[in-house]
Amino acid sequence: MTTHIERVVDPHILAQRNTPIEALITADIAPRLSELLSQPEAEVLVKLVFHKEGKAVRAVGSVSGGMTLCCQRCLQDYSERVAIDLDLRFVGPNAADSDDDVELDDDGLVEIRALIEDELILAVPLIPRHPEGGCDESIIGQYMVQETEVASAAPTRKPFADALAGLNIKKTQD
């Protein structure tokens, strides 16, 4: 297993040579993913096996590993495990039959690192947070405002109700 993955590969050559990709990659080669992480120490294992399928090439495999995100509930770091099954079909330029097809460039190449990075970005939760009960309640309590504190802070003004009451008074005086 290598720790290096080429930026651009030719899926047809990988399929002809029966060359799988198996690499342990880090977030430093995925700058867009790094922006979403609270710690840039993410390591993921990429396994892809390429085989011919007519004029196309299919790559089947997985991406798995962990990344550190910031919980949006307690603002503390936590580890998020990802396990993504990949089934990619590489086709020539302008030959995509479905949204799942990956089009190769004019030279028959694909930016495999960007493709893997895209899959990892899609695996990041929309709102990262610990699993239920995983947050430290004492930390959350520091940021919570009690309803009684809000109610006693200031009397409630109702500007629209006051304006409406003024209109009703003018109407009755006519």
Q: Tens digits of per-residue pLDDT, 86-145? A: 999 998 887 777 777 888 898 989 999 999 999 999 999 999 999 888 887 777 666 665
Q: CA of 159: how far to CAs of 40, 165, 170, 173, in Å?
A: 50, 10, 17, 22
Predicted confidence (pLDDT) at residue 1 exceeds the cutoff of 90 = no
The structural domains of the chain, with segments of one domain joined by +, span 11-123, 140-173
Q: Tell me what pLDDT residue 151 has.
A: 54
Higher local confidence (pLDDT), 57 or 151:
57
Q: Give the pTM.
A: 0.74
Predicted confidence (pLDDT) at residue 172 exceeds the cutoff of 60 = no
Region 14-40 average pLDDT: 88
Higher local confidence (pLDDT), 12 or 147:
12
Region 27-38 average pLDDT: 87
Tokens of 80: 């998020």
Which band of pLDDT confidence, cut at 50, 70 and 90, is reported for residue 78?
Answer: very high
Predicted confidence (pLDDT) at residue 4 exceeds the cutoff of 90 = no
Task: Give first-to-last CA distance, the chain, whole Å.
Answer: 89
Q: Tell me what pLDDT residue 140 has.
A: 66
| Spatial contact of 47 and 19, defined as CB atoms under 8 Å apart | no
